[in-house]
Amino acid sequence: MGSAARWLVAAMVAATFVGSEAAWAGAPTDQLRGRIDRVLKVLEGELKQEGRSEERRIAIRKIADETFDFREISQRSLARHWQSRTPGERDEFVQLFTDVLERAYIGQIEQYSGSEKVQYVGETLDGQQAVVRTRIVTKAGTEVPVDYRLHRVGEQWLVYDVAIEGISLVSNYRAQFDRIIRSSSYKQLAEKLKAKKDEAREADGAGMKRASTQK
């Protein structure tokens, strides 16, 4: 599950920390860029100060929640196994999977130095769905295509998938989740996600304890 999370991280982090060149500006692109700008303000403002990591992470999580439709990502990633889940199981899965993705995103975004540039190269609208096409240009000049797939929810355009070099985040997770469920059970998948959450909480607690003793 780690590599798929890194794809999401790479897409959002690169777009967050770099200068952008806009070749197209429609509602999905404008909203995506606006949320990315808000993350920049969090990282460059008062919350970047040492000792305010928890506040910073809460602020970034809030913006991530407004950028990604984590329930839609969860449903598409679980695919056919979603239908056989109870409402309670669905809610639990969304919460656990969201936690995994957000923690991966936040953990990487706080370490990113930002040497690439992102170019907004196009936007395709198809009713209530859209694709915002970008290109990440590395310091070495290598170009990496990153496509954001969004759908309209009310007046908001929310990301439900990210494809880097044609490889879909959702498709990658779908294959992994399906393999775990077919070889074991949905319960085993949920237990794996719970274990990742517990490990992350323990790591956060240890980090806060170290920080308090160093003051």
> What length does the chain have?
215
Q: Is the pLDDT of residue 1 over 90?
A: no
Q: What is the pTM of this model?
A: 0.80
Confidence of residue 110 (pLDDT cuts 50, 70, 90): low
With vertex at residue 197, the alpha carbon angle to CA 4 and CA 42, rounded to the nearest 5 degrees, is 75
Q: Is the pLDDT of residue 198 over 50?
A: yes
CATH of the domain at 6: 3.10.450.710
Q: How many alpha carbons lie under 13 Å from residue 166 in its C-beta half-sphere?
A: 0
Q: Is residue 196 part of a domain?
A: yes
Q: Is residue 86 part of a domain?
A: yes
Print the domain residue range for 50.
2-210
Q: Is residue 20 part of a domain?
A: yes
Q: Which of 39, 13, 196, 211 is nearest to 118 (CA)?
A: 13
Q: What does the pLDDT look like over 140-196, one tens digit per residue?
A: 888 888 899 999 999 999 999 999 888 998 999 999 999 999 999 999 999 999 998
Q: Is residue 120 part of a domain?
A: yes
Q: Is residue 46 part of a domain?
A: yes
Q: What does the pLDDT look like over 56-100, one tens digit per residue?
A: 889 888 998 999 999 999 999 999 999 999 999 999 999 999 998
Q: Label residues 106-142 b or e (16+ Cβ within 10 Å = b).
A: bebbeebeeebbbbbbebeeeeeebbbbbbbbeeeee
Task: Find the mean pLDDT for residues 93-115.
Answer: 78
| Structure-token pair, residue 156 | 């908001």
Q: Is residue 150 part of a domain?
A: yes
Q: Is residue 215 part of a domain?
A: no
Confidence of residue 24 (pLDDT cuts 50, 70, 90): very low
User: Using CA atoms, how far apart are residues 185 and 145, in angstroms rounded to an integer?
Assistant: 35
Q: Is residue 99 part of a domain?
A: yes
Domain count, the chain: 1
